[in-house]
Amino acid sequence: MSDSRARPQVPAPSHPWRLAYEGFDPAEEGIREVLCAVGNGYLVSRAAAPESRADGIHYPGTYLAGCYDRAVSVVDGRTVENEDLINCPNWLPFTFRPEEGTWFTGPAATEQLELDLRRGVLTRHALVVDDQGRRTRLTQRRIASQAQPHLLALETELVPENWSGRLEIRSALDGNVSNTGVARYRGLTGRHLVPDGQGADADGTLWLQVAAAGSPLRIALAARTLAHRGGAPLATIRTDEVREGLAAQVFVLAAEQGSPVTVEKTVAVFTSRDPAIGAPLRAARTLVEQAPDFARLVRDHALRWTELWSRCRIDADFDGIGTVRLHLFHLLQTYSEHSVDLDVGIPARGLHGEAYRGHVFWDELFVLQLLNLRFPELARAVLRYRHRRLDAARQAARAVGLSGAMYPWQSASDGREESQQLHRNPLSGRWLPDHSHLQHHVGSAVAYNVWQHYQATGDVDFLATTGAEMVLEVARFWSSAAVYDPRRGRYSIRGVVGPDEYHDAYPWSDRPGLDDNAYTNVLASWVLARALDTIDVLPGYRRDELLERLALDRGELDRWQEVSRRLHVPFHDGVLSQFDGYERLAELDWSAYRRRYPDLRRLDRILEAEGDTANRYKASKQADVLMLFYLFSAREVRDLLRRLGHRAGPELLRRTTGYYLRRTVHGSTLSAVVHAWVLTRSDRRASWRFFRDALAGDLADVQGGTTAEGIHLGAMAGTVDLLQRCYTGLEIRRDTLWLAPRLPSAIGRVELDLRYRGHWGVTLCVDRRTATVSLRESPQAPIRVGFRGSPTTVRPGESQRFSL
């Protein structure tokens, strides 16, 4: 095939409903595969070309929610065990050739890729020129059905431009795949699938089944490939090719110059984890046999996307609204109504790649704020994932001699700690101890998410049956972890790592962990106080049941009260200290390092490669202390600190923000989201710059190669939430929606629809002069809206306008 190609162009994120790429660029292929991936909450499939293989440029990958496998590797002489999200069998393989030609393996002479966000359809236009000069126009469309989540479909239209003759088409299912999508993991065990049968039935159905190497999981695929011209079936000669781990078919048909040939490949996917099936292979065969044609699949699929977009409408008059919708699109592809019954959490990198091994971190903290006010049923499913792993968290706490529940920093299938024991610095090539499992603040995030869900939904039933138990057990953990320091007359929480992650030990100590991380301690205090509130909110009978079941007596509750008011929070130079002893660290020579290194996002790796350590310096990877001002309003932070016995005036936020902003390298995509949020209160221009940086995070691959390994889902959700809650000033306190709009100068208007406490039709519109809350006709009760004063009641069918 010809190697001539169009020059790649920059994508067009400014288009409100389309992401488009022109030409082919090997260096950008991984980014495009991720950003143009299609999915439905059950699975996500990267946008690799159907004719491609994993070759260092392309990486076909399809990931099923919750499908993990555990494997053992030897690293630096040590045996380590990891649980990975499996790269599942490749359903895409499809190629063609004119008679006596070579199979098309890419690249095309010209190529355009377009993702239709409104309908969830990926379209590829290409011109293929073979070594004999025969030109074939190629148009491919693919979907991961939102209407039938077990179905994937690829439609290919081929138009011979200057030739006629026999056309051969090859369609396959390939189970001989491995997890090799992240370069730094390639020295570890990556083969997770074992062939478990393959074949081609008499009716033309291809099928393939694989087993996970380290678990009872089975994955089955069945495929139907049909050719037609203008809707009329084409006569073909079919040859089946079946060998271990691969099932393929070759079709031969007559092609005419200028006459389109359309081939539809429909694939059904099931696993042994799926509910309401017998055997996954039988289910896949049955579904693919019954599946409608591609046109009908697209119509039904597009209808579901229309419903989704109507339920998460957000409009703003600035040129980045297309990127905001791209972020929403990928959130809805990662977690949807099809995820609810699968017992899965929200992977930090979506279902789009293998970074972080597909594990669940605290990123749901950034996602659930969005889901609570759009799709509360999805938020509840995420929290139930955590509740099902509550016993594992209890066991983890007991293993370190503590009570309550200690949630893992990284979670996967069963709730055990999945954080790495070692990590490799690619700059030095050295394997280093990984202490990230000491980020116990993840448990506070779980409790915070439960409480925020209750505030947004008013769902006392969920709180009583599921949420309260998690909040109480996390509170119990913090109470047992707090150690009384008679010198200060306060309690300390020792040996932890905060959100910053650069600092995991004191430079003068040989033990890992830090003492009294401010974010950890203030949030622990908040959890203890909310746990006591939770007990008061519960119906009396349920309160008694939980107190008895958990053996919570008055003495323990009194300790919660005491610890919540007397946890130590360190200060220095008039600002909150990131942790106790922070003031003893050295100042980094920032100007020297910026001259030597154009990008300091991975300052920890740079310093380690130089034989130094980030633990020595006042330098942060991302927001740590400032996370408090992300989770809580400035007033709430002041109240929390005063409750702990500290003076906290209005100037504390400004001083603390400025101090850490000068010392943060934003090595995480979440950092830009948090800083955009926090700076809204003190520097709106700076807030807007960080917001734009957060929007560009994956689209521009600002971290240099990480997007190709999977989207940054927390940051994507965070950018949408900046429009939804931060810039509109939307806050839920008790039973009232409070508004304090602070639109950046670049945005003149934001309008969005919400679900709030049973109301499906709450519309909020904020512009330069007014904020309007409208409530559609509904059998639900009125809602309370607060703006600068006493709350106002808004009844169904009414609007309330507030003058700014």
The three state secondary structure string of 524-557 is HHHHHHHHHHHHHHCCHHHHHHHHHHCCCCHHHH
Model confidence at 777, pLDDT cuts 50, 70, 90, reads confident
- Cis check: omega of the bond before 292, within 30 degrees of 0: no
Instruction: Collect all residues with Cβ–Cβ distance below 8 Å to 432 and sequence separation of at least 6.
Output: 422, 423, 424, 425, 608
Residue 10 burial by Cβ neighbours in a 10 Å radius (0-12, 13-18, 19+): exposed
pLDDT of residue 753: 95
C-alpha R_g of the chain: 27
Considering 51, 469, 501, 731, which one is annotated as catalytic?
501
Instruction: Collect all residues with Cβ–Cβ distance below 8 Å to 722 and sequence separation of at least 6.
Output: 673, 676, 677, 691, 694
Give residue-wise pLDDT tens across range 315-343: 999 999 999 999 999 999 999 999 999 99
Residue 600, classed as helix, strand or coil, is coil
pLDDT of residue 5: 34
Residue 704 burial by Cβ neighbours in a 10 Å radius (0-12, 13-18, 19+): exposed
Residue 171 burial by Cβ neighbours in a 10 Å radius (0-12, 13-18, 19+): buried
Q: Which of 244, 228, 238 is nearest to 203 (CA)?
A: 238
Active site residue 501: yes
- If phi > 0 it is left, if psi is from -120 to 50 it is alpha, else beta; for residue 276 that is left
Q: How far apart are CA 498 and CA 518, in angstroms?
A: 8
DSSP track, 39-60? E-SSEEE----TT---SSS---
Residue 432, classed as helix, strand or coil, is strand
pLDDT of residue 639: 95
Give residue-wise pLDDT tens across range 425-455: 888 888 889 999 999 999 999 999 999 999 9
Q: How far apart are CA 575 and CA 618, in angstroms?
A: 13
Q: How far apart are CA 451 and CA 630, in angstroms?
A: 16
Give residue-wise pLDDT tens across range 357-404: 999 999 999 999 999 999 999 999 999 999 999 999 999 999 999 999
The better pLDDT of the pair 780, 338 is held by 338
Give residue-wise pLDDT tens across range 183-195: 888 888 999 999 9
Q: How far apart are CA 502 and CA 612, in angstroms?
A: 12
Percent of the chain residues topping a pLDDT of 90: 90
Averaged pLDDT score across all residues of the chain: 94
pLDDT of residue 790: 82
Are 795 and 778 a contacting pair, CB within 8 Å? no
Name residue 47's amino acid: A
Find the angle CA(264)-CA(266)-CA(272) to the nearest 5 degrees.
170
Q: How far apart are CA 481 and CA 714, in angstroms?
A: 28
Name residue 189's amino acid: T
Are 300 and 124 a contacting pair, CB within 8 Å? no
Q: What is the 3-state secondary structure (H, E, C) of 785-802?
A: EECCCCCEEECCCCEEEE
Name residue 378's amino acid: L
Average pLDDT score over residue span 68-87:
91
Are 71 and 189 a contacting pair, CB within 8 Å? yes
pLDDT at 13 over 70: no
Name residue 258's amino acid: G
pLDDT at 465 over 90: yes
pLDDT at 7 over 80: no
pLDDT of residue 640: 97
pLDDT of residue 649: 86
Name residue 180's amino acid: T
Sort strands 110-116 and 18-22 into parallel, antiparallel or unpaired.
antiparallel
Average pLDDT score over residue span 256-281:
97
pLDDT at 3 over 70: no
Model confidence at 14, pLDDT cuts 50, 70, 90, reads low
Percent of the chain residues topping a pLDDT of 70: 98
CA-based diameter of the chain, in Å?
90
**Tokens representing residue 241 in the block:** 């090719």
pTM given for the model: 0.96
pLDDT at 258 over 70: yes
**Could you tell me the sign of the dihedral formed by the alpha carbons of 81, 85, 87, 88, in that order?**
positive
The residue assigned the tokens 């599921």 is 466
Q: State the DSSP H helix or E strand holding residue 646, giving kind and residue range, or none if neither.
A: none
